[in-house]
Structure 1
Amino acid sequence: MILTLIAAHDPNLVIGKDGELPWHYPEDLKFFKQTTMGHTLLMGRIVFEELGEKLLPGREGVVLSRSQSYPHVPTFSSIDDALNHLSDKERVFVIGGGEIYRQTINMADELIITEIDEAYDGDTFFPEYRDQIGEVWKEKFRQESGSLTFLKYVRNRS
């Protein structure tokens, strides 16, 4: 399985505020949909609740929660249990939130990042990874589009 963290963040690694995205960039939403379509999404309870407790069309989902379970979606209390359940999947995208990213970044094979030029006020952050580019993460793709930069990093295995 390829474990990929996918996120959009501002220069300060902000990814959320008050349980929501602090921005609206249709181009990033389109990129997210195209990238994750047909794959499995691993998300925390808060992200799942932000989605209205339903899965995104065309994608399977698994929820991590220590306090809640959902009868219509596989729910696990630990990342290890969730990843064991998903071991037959070719690719799994971690879509947040902040704590789930922190717990999975050291296991990840890839990071797919949308960098947003503008700074936003926020209370949820993506873990720092930029100081590891070159040593841990190798840039494989970059596309700039206005105030967004789409990036793909793969873990150095050498």
Structure 2
Amino acid sequence: MKIVLIVAHDPNLVIGNEGGLPWHYSEDLKFFKKETMGHPIVMGRIVFEELNEKPLPGRENIVLSRTKSFEHVKTFKSIEEALDNLRGHEKVFIIGGGEIYKQTLDMADELIVTQIKVEYSGDTFFPEYQDKIGTVWREYWREEHSAFDFVKLKKV
């Protein structure tokens, strides 16, 4: 099973602010949907609550929470439990938030990143990985846009 972290961040690795995305790029949302469609997505409780507790369609939604469970999605207390439950899937996407990314960065096989070119204010960050490009991560695909670049990296 391939573990893929998919994230959008600004130059300072900001991924969120006050419980939501600090930006709105419809192209990024379409890219996210295209990449994740048909695959399980794993997210923290806060991310699921930001989605108004509505599962994203066309994907098995898995929520990580030590304190809460939800009727209409599978909920697990740890990333290990969630991944054990997803054995047999070709690919699993980790979609955030910050703590979940920190817990899973080292186990990831691939990163799919929207690198936003403008700096935003934020209170939630993606863990540092850029200093490991070339040693741990290798870029194998890039699509450039005016406001952001889509980048795919594989673990070396």
- TM-score band w.r.t. shorter chain: over 0.9
Question: Within 5 Å, which residues of 2 pair with 1:9-158?
Answer: 9-156=9-156
Alpha-carbon distance in structure 2 between the residues aligned to 1:102 and 1:87: 21
> Counterpart of 1:102 in structure 2: which amino acid?
K
Q: Whole-Å Cα distance in 2 between the matches of residues 53 and 88 of structure 1? A: 26
Residue 106 (structure 1) shift? 0.2
SS of 1:96's equivalent in the other structure is coil
- What per-residue deviation string (whole Å, max 9, x for no partner) do you get for residues 106-150 of structure 1? 000000000000000000000000000000001010110111100
> What TM-score does the superposition give when structure 2 sets the normalisation length?
0.99
SS in 2 for 1:72: coil
- The count of residues paired between Structure 1 and Structure 2 equals 156
Following superposition, the deviation at residue 155 of structure 1 comes to 0.3
Cα deviation 1:86-112 (Å, max 9, x = unaligned): 111111100000000000000000000
User: Distance between the aligned counterparts of 2:134 and 2:119, measured in 1?
Assistant: 25
Q: Counterparts of 1:132 and 1:87 in 2: how far apart (Å)?
A: 28
The whole-number CA distance in structure 2 between the counterparts of 1:78 and 1:39 is 19
- Kindly provide the amino acid, as one letter, of the partner of residue 82 in structure 1: A
Cα distance in 2 between the residues matched to 1:33 and 1:24: 14
Runs of 4+ in 1 over 2 A off after TM superposition: none
Q: Aligned-pair distance for 1:78?
A: 0.7
Distance in 1 between residues matched to 2:83 and 2:34, nearest whole Å: 23
The amino acid of 1:41's aligned partner reads I
Distance 1:40 1:25 in 2: 23
Mapped partners of 2:90, 2:53: distance in 1 = 25
Alpha-carbon distance in structure 2 between the residues aligned to 1:101 and 1:58: 22
Gapped regions of structure 1 (runs ≥ 5): none
**Superposed CA RMSD:** 0.6
Cα offset for 1:46?
A: 0.4
Q: Distance in 2 between matches of 1:66 and 1:102?
A: 16
Partner Cα separation in structure 2 for residue 26 and residue 71 of structure 1: 30
